[in-house]
Amino acid sequence: MATANTDDTQASGGDRFIYLTAGLAALNGLLFGFDTGIISGAFLYINNTFTMSPLVEGIVISGAMAGAAFGAATGGKLADQIGRRRLILLGAVVFFIGSLTMAIAPTVLVLVVGRLIDGVAIGFASIVGPLYISEIAPPKIRGALTSLNQLMVTLGILISYFVNYAFADTGDWRLMLGTGMIPAVILALGMLKMPESPRWLYEHDQPDAARAVLKRTRESDIDAEMDEIKKTVDKQSGNGLSDLFESWLRPALIVGLGLAVFQQITGINAVIYYAPTILESTGFGSSTSIFATVGIGVINVVMTIVAIALIDRVGRRRLLLVGVGGMVVTPGVLGAVFYLPGFGGILGWVATGSLMLFVAFFAIGLGPVFWLLISEIYPLSVRGSAMGTVTVANWGANLLVSLAFPVLTANLGKPSTFWLFGICSLLAFVFAYRMVPETKGRSLEAIEADLRDNVSDSVGATGTESVPSRE
């Protein structure tokens, strides 16, 4: 991560505090990943305790995503109103209550309630983690620091695979789900000592506090940054959701919504949630499938680290295009494998390899770049609400794909389902190529100023200085 910043003063000694702050806030990502990943393992054993109708089963599994959509819808506005830091604290408390409720649930109804509460916290976390980090980070390393959140999402998913595995013998689903309380407590206690976002403070008439936070988190001169924040806040007019639909903001909204939906309909969670099932159908036994699934989780983490090392150097746009490009090809290969006879042996491994490559390409592109860009491209006055809006779309699409995947594979078959994902990736590539701006190294205020100056010459225009600019 520090290697992303070789030419500047900003990664030196005093910046340890910014790494600590960002690392702690990124626990939001860990909870997001862990709590979405843990249910697949726990579910196998919940069935032994409670009798559930298929509908209730569906709600237990996907309830967190519905809760997350609600959390994202309300969390954005809340982040603008009560502040980023307080929302993180609130989210940690909600995570704790949700995990505790699930762990001690005496009835299936209580379990569902716990899952919904947990979902709301996941929704809060998915917005406020990247939002807080991007606002507190120095521009030169903002990409790497904000993407720490996505790294923690992938780590949370991986840890959930291990916890599932560790408790598999005893089948103690209450402990599996209750484990989520631990990072929630660490997050809450840690955030008590962390500062509010300087940008939010300035906007809420606390310029001295804003300056103090910048001083604490920057080695370099903070006057220029303070000036930029001041200018941006002075230019603001309203502060309502309606501002989101003003013409100068439309391109940024389209970019956010488009990436939100493409991040999901290109199929990542079909792999994350259903990997063992997919692998078993290529001829592997269950233990090999579970082993290969852990491999997929590891690749997701490792390639996110690669993305973090590159994102402030090669830029968001290039990583995104390479990543999405790879996601066009790999499902094609995977789909073809299912057509070949005799899956065992080498073909099973070709399938595993293409699943791993698919996840690797997601992890360097759509995974981190989506969350990073939506924390960068919206103006301060509506940043929380805008992120909330696009994040709701992300969770909605996530829910849709998770519910549709089993239905699609049953009706169209696995090859066509994966080819469908490949086609979605192709559309995502065209979209990213035409619409997505480069924000590397620029201050959030400069990105906002460019957006305002380009009312007609919007983000989507080609071959112009249209901004935030492309490289």
Chain positions contacting ligand BGC, by CB under 6 A: 150, 153-154, 157, 263, 268-269, 272, 300, 367, 371, 398
Q: What is the torsional sign of CA 440, 442, 443, 448? A: negative
DSSP string, 332-347: HHHHHHTTSS--THHH
DSSP string, 367-381: HHHHHHHHHHSS-GG
Report the Cα 65 to chain-centroid distance in Å.
Answer: 13
Shorter beta-carbon distance to ligand BGC: residue 214 or 324: 324
Please list, residue by residue across 60-74, b when 16 or more beta carbons sit within 10 angstroms of its beta carbon and e when fewer do.
bbbbbbbbbbbbbbb
Nearest to 374 by CA among 36, 147, 90: 147
Residue 153 CB, nearest approach to ligand BGC (Å): 5
State the first-to-last Cα distance of the chain, in angstroms, to the nearest integer: 22
Residue 55 CB, nearest approach to ligand BGC (Å): 24
Shorter beta-carbon distance to ligand BGC: residue 222 or 327: 327
The Cα–Cα gap between 404 and 2 comes to 41
Shorter beta-carbon distance to ligand BGC: residue 398 or 466: 398
Specify the DSSP class assigned to residue 464. Answer: S
The Cα–Cα gap between 434 and 428 comes to 10
The Cα–Cα gap between 367 and 172 comes to 31
3-state secondary structure 169-187: CCCCHHHHHHCCHHHHHHH
Q: What is the torsional sign of CA 358, 363, 364, 366? A: positive
Residue 33 CB, nearest approach to ligand BGC (Å): 7
Shorter beta-carbon distance to ligand BGC: residue 34 or 371: 371
Amino acid occupying residue 112: V
Shorter beta-carbon distance to ligand BGC: residue 150 or 454: 150
SS3 of residue 87 by DSSP: helix
Shorter beta-carbon distance to ligand BGC: residue 27 or 105: 27
Residue 324 CB, nearest approach to ligand BGC (Å): 14
Q: Are 336 and 419 in contact (CB under 8 A)?
A: no
Residue 363 CB, nearest approach to ligand BGC (Å): 7
The token pair at 403 is 């519910």
Shorter beta-carbon distance to ligand BGC: residue 263 or 330: 263
Counting other chains too, the contacts that 172-176 makes at CB distance below 8 Å and 24 or more residues apart are 172/45, 173/42, 173/43, 173/44, 173/45, 173/46, 173/49, 174/102, 174/103, 174/104, 174/105, 175/103, 176/38, 176/41, 176/42, 176/45
Shorter beta-carbon distance to ligand BGC: residue 46 or 366: 366
Shorter beta-carbon distance to ligand BGC: residue 65 or 194: 65
Residue 273 CB, nearest approach to ligand BGC (Å): 8
Shorter beta-carbon distance to ligand BGC: residue 263 or 439: 263
Shorter beta-carbon distance to ligand BGC: residue 64 or 103: 64
Q: Residue 321: how many CB atoms within 10 A of its CB? A: 18
